[in-house]
Amino acid sequence: MARRRQLYEGKAKILFEGPEPGTLVQYFKDDATAGNGAKHGIITGKGVLNNRISEYIMLRLQEIGIPTHFIRRINMREQLIREVEIIPLEIVIRNIAAGSIAKRLGIPEGTRLPRSIVEYYYKNDALGDPMVAEEHITAFGWANPHDLDDMVAMSLRVNDFLMGLFAGVGISLVDFKLEFGRLWEGEEMRIILADEISPDNCRLWDSKTNEKLDKDRFRRDMGQVEEAYQEVARRLGILPEAGNGDLKGSETMQ
């Protein structure tokens, strides 16, 4: 295949020019970062797993009518996506206290929240992705109130659906982060779900044992990171029950 032009290299993925205008190729790396890049490591096989997990979740979401950037998976590490103008916000939905909300508000990790809580962060690495309020978002024009309502409504639907999906395979959806982008179709603009949904940006705990099956294993040096991502994929039915130990050697496989 002809070498594609690289447009952007991020912390976990690389974006290449797609085969047609308005498309991109999203390449999933094994790189992992935490604490806004303070910590860097490689989780062998992560890119392959996140490509598959994100594909699976985006397809399930499309089935319930959530518009997403996902078009199709190309190979083990790449997927074809629709190019959007990313809205510089991270929308976080929380069901159970963990991470920054536990720390900032002194809520013991694992406490079920009285209801799902939506938080906004300004997507800006140089500033460390600071938390912002609706006021900042609309005043600085990152999104207008209508677009923000749209994103929140979609995020809550994604939450309801994914809570059920994961509960069905014995996993609690503790929290997750979404990114959205603007898709222009002539004069019309639609906001669609972009980026990825994977154990890199979801907290997933085993429902029975509360064992962590997500990137917190890397952030907190708990080990068995790849195994945790594999377990999520296996429970979603993406990986076979056994004999998946050759993932690393099969990069060119479809």
* Residues at the site binding ligand ADP, with contacts judged by CB under 6 A: 10-13, 15, 24, 69, 81-84, 86, 179, 181, 194-195
Per this entry, what is the length of the chain? 254
d(CA 12, CA 52): 15
Cβ distance to ligand ADP smaller for residue 40 or 103: 40
Minimum CB–partner distance for residue 15 and ligand ADP (Å):
5
**Smallest distance, Å, CB 90 to ligand ADP?**
9
Nearer to ligand ADP, 12 or 151 (CB): 12
CB of 155 to ligand ADP, least distance (A): 16
Note the Cα 235 to chain centre separation in Å. Answer: 18
By Cβ distance, which residue is nearest to ligand ADP? 10
Q: How far is the CB of 192 from ligand ADP (least distance, A)?
A: 8
Question: What does the block give as tokens for 184?
Answer: 């222009």
Min dist. Cβ of residue 200 to ligand ADP (A): 8
Burial (Cβ within 10 Å: 0-12, 13-18, ≥19) of residue 29: middle
Coil, strand, or helix at residue 97? coil
Q: Is 252 helix (H, G, I), strand (E, B) or coil?
A: coil
Nearer to ligand ADP, 34 or 86 (CB): 86
Kindly tell me which of 11 and 235 has the beta carbon lying closer to ligand ADP.
11
Between 86 and 152, whose beta carbon lies closer to ligand ADP? 86
Q: Residue 71 Cβ, how far from ligand ADP at the closest point, in Å?
A: 10
Between 79 and 172, whose beta carbon lies closer to ligand ADP? 79
Kindly report the CA angle at 26 between 78 and 253, in degrees rounded to 5?
A: 0
Give the position of tokens 């429902």: 207
* Cα distances (Å, whole numbers) of residue 229 to 38, 233, 251: 22, 6, 17
SS3 135: helix
